[in-house]
Structure 1
């Protein structure tokens, strides 16, 4: 697999998003299954592993740290702070966005301990806390660089304007935001801003949370705690419309000589050289399928037909519900009625 650049790092063009080994999509796999997946990715040559303090309220960082500590020099480690599990008065952990300098310092120290490392290669602000100027949060993160606890900085789910303000305080090596054929918001401004500033664009949920790999046909089967149940696109009415896009999409994958999952990743890799997708999976066979997308080439005609078939105008529903939309700072296309 060829490499791409994130700040000072050369990483594989496809990285691994570790979130779903501990978080978000219902009951997570066992620690043993998570360990097998992480080691399989390492053995396959993956050199970018992405986690966060939020995922499993620390469980994901703990898993990544335990399994990959013996191989620390072989990969670039990315994690995130500014959003984490915080105990309430009842002792129950709840997701809290907190971009104050003291919270960012605490999040980083906690992550270093769980990851069993003395430095995080790429440290993101997971969400911009709109109560705190972005310059203040990034300033606190820059001091982590000065202290040798972090090597490079990133931002997640921010607009082009916020990226530019942050970059004026300290160079931003990467912006991480949802990006796939069915979530095209980065094309409004932030993708170009990243290119202009020399920042990589790290695409999470590149396969539309299983939609683009043809793996979810009945949303009623989702577990009660699966985060997709809160996302309008997975509402039964919207999803029924979105499923109508799959036959044409699968036909394009067949024409390209690849699987639906590989088509989604190949599109991202061909879209721009500064894009690094980080698909997640719990299945080793799916991992190898995803990584093989780096060898898929799409001709210009098929590429254009693919973009015309699935885009912000043809997909039904917002990507996030109202509360989650209020927490991100990205430019958003209006959802079709």
Structure 2
């Protein structure tokens, strides 16, 4: 796989994967990104221009997608609308990008016989009870609870159907919540960090008891590369790093790292359909492909992430005002 097409490669998780490829492999990379508010070309700064091509465009543009797929050895599809709050406000972009965009890609992949890997989320499985010891596995039934997770579930099912009906050379991965550098400030961890940097108390939905299973974006990248190289066609792999934490624990961790009192946060009204708990069982990935996380210590990874946002204000500052304005409008 000498040339890899990465959709959404200027976004948070996609740009981390592009960095992984260019820093740890010999592959050439073509990034296709629409550069919506969540995409940022600065996330690709410093990468080798001789091995990186950037194309601004939409995954729903069938002509452009076909041209790019035709000259790629593999496609990794990160591009997605992914913010739950935004999906509750306006679901249409989620249908367009997550479902129609995936359809456009897999049709091009089918025509050209190209290897395809589909990036999905643990949110397609719905949620688990807070006290339930169970974790999601590859066999868990889909039970999405938001427009975002429903459209991701729909895209997964398209890929599965194309594998069975047309022999699509595809794998799927469902990953737990990512954190790390280059994440948009609308997301939970960077929003709390940047609020504290701005002297604003973090805000936590409900009672803060909701649990997420956190993984560093660099570990997500290495897992995807392992699946792309060694995963069995038609299979789904769950990517996780045993990082379950309640939202309140995460906020208190951020406050402690940043020298603030552990109770310096505010609880706000919960959002509709807020899932209680996500938890990933990555046994299949670890045993079948021999993958293991390089960042298993969430506390250390969180400290590194806080440091990155402290040191890279020029990257996130232009996003901050618009993000807080959107949250303020919802609250009002």
Identify whether the pair has TM-score above 0.5, normalized to the shorter chain: no
Give TM class, smaller chain: 0.3 to 0.5
With the length of structure 2 as denominator, give the TM-score of the two structures: 0.33
Higher relative contact order (CA 8 A, sep 6+): 1
With the length of structure 1 as denominator, give the TM-score of the two structures: 0.32
